[in-house]
């Protein structure tokens, strides 16, 4: 069975825009004023609700399983190029500059700005209006700036995002709905992750 289309809805006549090079899982919900750039990955059960303001997702970004992106009235949510939003995170009317990582189950609140190449640690809570300088590591509840990131740490983040660029191509080429097997077969095929391994 072929991969199904995501759940896409207009509101007030505003229709989401999804670049054809991107992959959006069939369980994702995309509503209203949402623009997804080129070569993005939108994972299972993601909710992108552009019903109060716009949501913009920059080229090469990934929004992983169970993430929610939403907005206050009139205040957009902006994910810069190469954004990396980890499983279960929430981003609400915030601006993330280029190459930002938001860790699993972190929350980034209204009118906050996360500078280029920064990392928001898993489970962190970025308060309303917080301004995070570029190349920063932030963590905690509430989040605070821990230190500047080293160049090799920024490159590690880029490598992780490149894995998702490859996953976009793999999903578009081979992801399909199937019936599960009842037992493991002989000569079971392997996942095609050799390119990812070379960058790990």
Neighbouring-strand partners of residue 24: 42
pLDDT in tens, 172-190: 999 999 999 999 999 999 9
pLDDT in tens, 55-101: 999 999 999 999 999 999 999 999 999 999 999 999 999 999 999 99
Position 4 scores a pLDDT of 73
pLDDT in tens, 53-66: 999 999 999 999 99
Contact 53, 93 (CB under 8 A): yes
- Side-by-side strand order, sheet with 144-148: 23-24, 41-42, 62-63, 84-85, 101-102, 119-120, 136-139, 144-148
Q: Helix, strand, or coil here: 156?
A: helix
Given the structure tokens 């207009």, which residue do they identify?
Answer: 10
Banded pLDDT at 168 (limits 50, 70, 90): very high
Domain ranges of the chain: 7-151
Neighbouring-strand partners of residue 70: 92
Position 1 scores a pLDDT of 54
pTM of the shown model: 0.92
Banded pLDDT at 199 (limits 50, 70, 90): very low
pLDDT in tens, 129-144: 999 999 999 999 999 9
Question: For residue 157, which phi and psi values (nearest 5 degrees)?
Answer: -60, -45
Position 193 scores a pLDDT of 82
- CATH number for 7-151: choose from 3.55.50.30, 3.40.50.300, 2.160.10.10, 2.60.210.10: 2.160.10.10
Question: What are 103's two structure tokens?
Answer: 């860790």
89: left (phi over 0), alpha (psi -120 to 50) or beta: beta
Given the structure tokens 């191509």, which residue do they identify?
Answer: 169
């Amino acid at each position: 069975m072929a991969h199904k289309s995501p759940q896409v809805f207009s509101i007030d006549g505003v229709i989401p825009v999804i670049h054809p090079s991107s992959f959006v899982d069939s369980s994702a919900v995309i509503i209203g004023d949402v623009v997804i750039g080129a070569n993005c990955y939108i994972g299972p059960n993601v909710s992108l609700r552009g019903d109060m303001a716009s949501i913009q997702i920059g080229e090469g970004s990934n929004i992983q399983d169970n993430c929610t992106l939403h907005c206050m009235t009139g205040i957009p949510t902006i994910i810069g190029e190469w954004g990396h939003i980890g499983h279960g995170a929430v981003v609400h009317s915030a601006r993330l500059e280029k190459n930002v990582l938001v860790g699993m189950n972190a929350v980034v609140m209204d009118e906050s700005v996360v500078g280029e190449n920064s990392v928001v640690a898993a489970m962190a809570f970025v308060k309303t209006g917080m301004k995070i300088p570029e190349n920063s590591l932030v963590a905690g509840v509430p989040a605070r700036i821990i230190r500047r990131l080293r160049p090799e740490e920024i490159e590690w983040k880029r490598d992780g995002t490149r894995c998702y660029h490859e996953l976009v191509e793999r999903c578009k080429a081979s992801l399909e709905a199937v019936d599960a097997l009842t037992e493991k077969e002989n000569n079971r095929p392997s996942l095609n992750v050799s390119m990812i391994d070379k960058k790990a």
